[in-house]
Amino acid sequence: MSPLLEIAGIGKSFGAFRALSDISLAVEEGETLGLIGPNGAGKTTLFNVVTGFLRPDSGAVRFAGAPVDRLPPEKRAALGLVRTFQKAMVFPALSLRENLAMAARQRAGHGLRWLGARTCHAEADAKVERLLAESGLPRGGGERMADLSYGEQRIADLLMALALEPRLLLLDEPTAGLSQAEAERLLRIVRRHDSRTALVLIAHDIDIVFGHCDRIAVMHLGRLLRTGTPQAVRADAAVRAAYLGSLAD
Ligand code: ADP
């Protein structure tokens, strides 16, 4: 079976600066892949290319067996290739529950149009209730988005993305600024919601990455330095030199 996501030979320059050089990487159904590397390595740029926010200079992206290079971000999301929800698409004056309902109804509209709007909405609303229950947020989603605490906002971002029923979810530093316990909780929400969702996780917290990822890809200066199991990556001399040098064994 072909991988869920296949990235082949991606290159991207900004003017004379080469941000991505010949990146090839595959993500399998259901796996959690950590994407690590120093600031400026090209991790977010790669996410932007994969999700369709940036057009690469070279290379190709396939998702679920089909090319997606010509599709805009929203069409890729409709196929299940989703990144943490864009803040611009959230309504701060509405509650988390209302925001989630809009995202879920929009998603249901793609897949279940033939069943009629009422069925779509009922299913979408049930999904929202399940997401809110799984999240363990103390006020159950009734709070205005703008009034959520920092940690709750990170969870809200994640729930908004999960409402789109991703097959592959790209998370760009979802745990930045969270305590270890909050970060662990956030990742547990994803797995509890659907253990089959594949994840690509950009994070700087080495304990989180090495503790939760099946494989790890290391980027450095726009190149993919190494991809492998956490043990193999941790032991790799080039990775240590570029990024993990200060890690104890
Ligand atoms: P990372 O996510 O690994 O920290 P980024 O992908 O954000 O790295 O950035 C990689 C490099 O590309 C950085 O040097 C950054 O300044 C540069 N870069 C990213 N986006 C742009 C852009 N739109 N225009 C010019 N340079 C950019």
Question: How is domain 1-77+169-174+198-249 classified at the architecture level of CATH?
Answer: 3-Layer(aba) Sandwich (3.40)
18 C-beta neighbours (distance < 10 Å), count:
16
List, for residues 175-215, the tens digit of each pLDDT value. Answer: 888 888 888 889 989 888 888 999 999 998 888 999 999 99
pLDDT at res. 191: 86
**Predicted confidence band at 86 (pLDDT cuts at 50, 70, 90)?**
low
What pLDDT sits at residue 248? 47
Residue-level pLDDT at 125? 87
Whether the CB-CB separation of 70 and 59 falls below 8 Å is answered with no
Q: Which residue's alpha carbon is nearest to atom 23 within ligand 1?
A: 14
Q: Is 233 in the pocket of ligand 1 (CB under 6 A)?
A: no
In this structure, what DSSP letter does residue 86 have?
P
* pLDDT tens profile 139-172: 788 889 889 888 888 899 899 999 988 999 999 9
14 lines ligand 1 (CB under 6 A): yes
The residues near 200 (Cβ < 8 Å, ≥ 6 apart) are 5, 27, 33, 34, 35, 47, 168, 169, 170, 171
40 pocket-lining for ligand 1 (C-beta < 6 Å): yes
Residue 43 Cβ inside 6 Å of ligand 1? The answer reads yes
pTM of the model: 0.90
